[in-house]
Amino acid sequence: MDTRLLEADPVQTSTPPPERSRLPEQPHIGPRRSLWWLWLLILGALAYGGYRLYEAEMQKRAQASAAQAAKAARRAVTVVATAVRTGDIPVELSALGTVTAFQTVTAKTRLDGQLTKVLFREGQFVKQGDVLAEIDPRPYEVQLAQAQGQMARDQAQLKDAEVNLERNKALFAAQVIAKQQLDTQASLVGQYQGAIAADQAQIDNAKLQLTYSKITAPISGRIGLRQVDQGNIVHASDATGIAVITQLQPISVLFSIPEDNLQEVLKKLRSDARLPVEAYDRDGEDKLATGTLVTVDNQIDVTTGTSKLKAVFNNEDSTLFPNQFVNVKLRLDVKRGVLIVPAAAVQRGPQGTFVYLVEDGKAKVRPVTTGVTQGTNIEITQGLSAGQQVVTDGGDKLADGIRVDVHTPAGNGGRRKRA
């Protein structure tokens, strides 16, 4: 045997055939891709289990809520109730007003001179004609004396001219003097008569100046702070004056209402109706005074869409003071014999206004129609009748059909009534 052939065989057997070496490599299929359906099945089972747990929890809550509602229905809720009553309710307009003095006057001097006396106290109530201060009258007394002396001289000259005129008339009748001389003397008499009239005017003016030396109150009212002290020189051209007097009795209040309500007010005024106006304090609780509407302004404020009104108050007890802010209620009408309930009894929901009516020891929802609201009261135009009990406190805990334990309001003596 040929040894070369034996040595070549192992080499030839270890080399793969040329055809197998060119075949494509087969893809490898792993165990994860082949088990995707198993994961999907697990997720579905978890979702179903979660849904069942949620459904059980919701059913448990519904049962607890139903049990709580049943328990609440068996338990009475304590409420405060009052009866629907029949009465009168006013139709009013509310506004914010400002108190203003009915008249305001600055007491000023009409002369130039030294202020010698101040005869008033600051804050004093003075009457018209009371002397408030005095100006030094001596310069004006001198002017009066001078005017009176001038008049005495002119009167003497007039008397002499009149005597001469009578003499000239006799001489002219005897044809002793010419007509021209008679006319000249008559003209001289007229001149002296005119001078006497001017002298009388000077005397009257001097007396008037003496009257002005005493500064009197032009109106009755309360005098303010003193603007000038005694001893100062005052002038008629001074802007400040001596003091300011404000008339407080009567006194006026200015307030504004929306232009939508103006025609109703004007209609009442045209019919000569007396519209009462009430003034309340800043909190709107304590009534300060009652007055009457006097007039309406002649134009509407375009910036606010309101009209200004003026009311007058007697203010005999001086409760109103100038520049004081007050709450004003203008009464337009009074609705009589209507059903009235406390405003706290009326509630509002998606279906409109309603009240909780107490019947047979249970709260029942009753839809109502409301009308005018005045303070803590409200008019019921439909849905109730007089004498029925409505809940005024505790309605936030109620539902239709719940049993209630009724308490009467504190104004009725605080007695308890079992429903």
Report pLDDT for 410: 59
The reported pLDDT for the residue numbered 409 is 67
Spatial separation of the C-alpha atoms in residues 265 and 272, rounded to whole Å: 11
Q: What is the length of the chain?
A: 419
pLDDT in tens, the chain (419 residues): 444 444 444 444 444 554 444 545 555 545 555 577 777 788 888 888 888 888 888 888 888 877 776 665 566 788 899 999 999 988 889 999 999 998 999 999 999 999 999 999 999 999 999 999 999 999 999 999 999 999 999 999 999 999 999 998 988 888 888 899 989 989 999 999 999 999 999 999 999 999 999 999 999 999 999 999 999 999 999 988 999 999 999 999 999 999 999 999 999 999 988 999 999 998 888 999 999 999 999 999 999 999 999 999 999 888 999 999 999 999 998 889 999 999 999 988 888 899 999 988 888 999 999 988 887 889 999 988 999 999 998 888 888 888 888 877 655 444 444 44
Q: Does domain 137-211 correspond to CATH entry 1.10.287.470?
A: yes
Contacts of 122 (CB under 8 A, 6+ apart): 223, 224, 225, 226, 243
- For residue 277, give every residue at least 6 positions away whose Cβ sits within 8 Å of its Cβ, in sequence order, or none: 253, 290, 291, 292, 293, 311, 313, 328, 329, 330, 331
Please check whether residue 203 is in contact with residue 151, taking contact to mean a CB–CB distance below 8 angstroms: yes
Residue 314 backbone zone (phi > 0: left; psi -120 to 50: alpha; other: beta): alpha
User: Which DSSP helix (H) or strand (E) runs through 378?
Assistant: strand 377-382
**What gap in Å lies between CA 160 and CA 166, rounded to an integer?**
10
**AA identity, residue 410:** A
pLDDT for the residue numbered 42: 82
CATH 2.40.420.20 location in the chain: 73-84+346-412
Domain with CATH 2.40.50.100 in the chain: 108-136+213-247
In the chain, CATH 2.40.30.170 sits at: 93-101+248-335
**Amino acid symbol at 181:** Q
Cα distances (angstroms) measured from residue 239 to each of 126, 227, 236, 243, 419: 22, 11, 8, 11, 76
CATH for the stretch 73-84+346-412: 2.40.420.20
Q: CA angle, corner 16, sides to 11 and 21, nearest 5?
A: 150
Closest CA to 418 of 366, 360, 365: 360
CA distance 187 to 199: 19
What is the CATH number that goes with domain 108-136+213-247?
A: 2.40.50.100
Residue 375, both tokens: 């303070």
pLDDT at 136: 94
Is this prediction's pTM over 0.95?
Answer: no
Q: DSSP H helical segments within 15-137, as ranges?
A: 18-21, 36-74
Q: Helices (H) and strands (E) in the chain — how many of each?
A: 6, 22
Q: What is the CATH number of domain 93-101+248-335?
A: 2.40.30.170
Which residue(s) pair with 277 in the sheet? Answer: 291, 330
The pLDDT, as a whole number, for residue 34 is 55
- Alpha-carbon distance of 147 to 142, in angstroms, equals 9
Q: Assess contact for 189 and 161: CB atoms under 8 A.
A: yes
Report the amino acid identity of residue 9: D
pLDDT at 246: 93
